[in-house]
Amino acid sequence: MDEMQNTPTSMPLIGDKAPAFTAVTTQGPINFPEDYKGKWVILFSHPADFTPVCTTEFMTFASMADEFRALNTELVGLSIDSLYAHIAWLRKIGELEWNGMKNVEVKFPVIEDIKMDVARKYGMVQSQSSTQAVRAVFIIDPNAVVRTILFYPASTGRNFDEIKRVVLALQKADKEQIATPANWRPGQDVIIPTPGSCGTAKERMESKDENQYCLDWFLCFRKEKK
């Protein structure tokens, strides 16, 4: 077994600092996370260039790049392929038309990771015998802290509406000190913090505040303005 396959794979956990790295990309060199101070980042990997599912994903991400940028969120892609393979693939993507998308230009950086240095730091290689990254998604906040981790198998394309929903939910939770319930979408009611004492719980249940309601003392919602 060669040295690359013997290299241990680690993986940051939610709440950990995002592992730092420098890399060559299709948009020039990057120093991560230093170059992204004050921004949210979606760092994602794909198994290989010129693969069908990955192609649809890149078209979708590129088409949504402005939507993410409006949320102070930058995209960074990665696969265990060469810079020249990346460039050739991205140029080909611009010639394709799918699902209403055409003339798509991928402007976000795609990391060259032939030696799997970055992929192994983020646990993107799930098998010691593999030379491909799985479909990993790391949502990293402006303080370079990992906030969400999503992993998909090679056969399943990612849900990009869900990725955007998670960014919106995290940003709202940080700003307003609330939580979001199952299937939450922007504009829907949110969950307020659970009371930390019996007295507060009683007050919460007896509250006449028209902007909130409780199903029980531990599950209370704040109404969102429609």
Output the known binding site: 135
How far is C-alpha 193 from the geometric centre of its chain's CA atoms?
A: 25
Q: At 74, give phi and psi (nearest 5°).
A: -105, 150
Q: For residues 116 and 79, what is the distance between their CA atoms, to the nearest angstrom?
A: 9
Q: Which of 82, 107, 81 is nearest to 93 (CA)?
A: 107
Element (H, E) at 137: strand 135-140
Distances (CA, A) of 127 to 65, 119, 124, 158, 171: 31, 12, 9, 20, 33
Q: For residues 141 and 164, what is the distance between their CA atoms, to the nearest angstrom?
A: 14
* 198 labelled catalytic: no
Report the alpha-carbon angle 75-80-84, nearest 5: 85
Binding-site members for substrate are 135
Query: Which residue among the candidates 54, 198, 214, 220 is catalytic per the annotation?
Result: 54
Q: At 126, give phi and psi (nearest 5°).
A: -90, -15
- Cβ atoms of 18 and 138 closer than 8 Å: yes
Catalytic annotation, residues: 54
